[in-house]
Amino acid sequence: ARQGANLIIADFDIDGAQNTAAEVEALGVKAFAYKVDVSDPEAVEAMVAFAVEKLGTLTGVFNNAGISKVQSLLDMDPASYRRVIEVDQFSVYYGLYYGARKMVELGVKGVIVNTASIYGSVAAKGSFNYNAAKAAVIAMTRSGALELAEHGIRVAAVAPGFIDTPMMKNVPDEARAALAAQHVTNRLIAPEKVASVVAFLFSDAASAVNGSTVAADDGFLAFKV
């Protein structure tokens, strides 16, 4: 938004989306809130149509939905596994599929950015489904870039470390400290730091970044891979 982009703020939490849209509009651009379940392909298709209706075009898609639940593999029944895959992996496919098809239809050479994770590159106990989903996001970013290059559509991803989001406020101090200790600065990452990487990936300055996943992890992967 600070770079002048008009946005659709899509979320299952419509109140949160509306609050964010209001903050974005205060920057002098257009923003529309939209309620969506990104695990539903028809809902994602409708979201893309809504974006074009409101904005007149579609130049970028940010696939950023994600859920997780710490659970051992032996306790993870098929329904629990499937739910994380549906939200964290399938939603990215839907965003790529419907977003890219609309860009091609409109003749737009756009950009699609996916949110992966450090856990797409390394394993963590209790995150079997999340590890699988985020590894798939990294692979889809590579494959999507290859498939869509002929249409002038660029695909990239960001892999954040442990971010200091509102959800972290409910995490015990000891657990927060343990997560922060896995970063070289011994701090959780401010959301704005990851957002700045995403903004870069959407910009013309990142035109040579295609099929790559950029780590915004404060050194986490440098010592794990």
- Alpha-carbon distance 13 to 192, whole Å? 20
SS3 171: coil
Contacts of 203 (CB under 8 A, 6+ apart): 3
Per-residue H/E/C for 123-161: CCCCEHHHHHHHHHHHHHHHHHHHHHHHHCCEEEEEEEC
Residue of 34, 94, 119, 130 marked active site: 130
Q: Report the phi/psi class of residue 192: left, alpha or beta, with left for phi > 0 and alpha for psi in -120 to 50.
A: alpha
Q: Determine the distance from the C-alpha atom of residue 212 to the mean position of all C-alpha atoms in its chain, rounded to a whole number.
A: 14
| 130 given a catalytic annotation | yes
Contact 96, 118 (CB under 8 A): no
Contact 204, 5 (CB under 8 A): no
Cα–Cα distance list, 18 to 39, 76, 89 (Å) = 21, 34, 25
- Alpha-carbon distance 57 to 200, whole Å? 21
Q: Which residues are catalytic?
A: 130
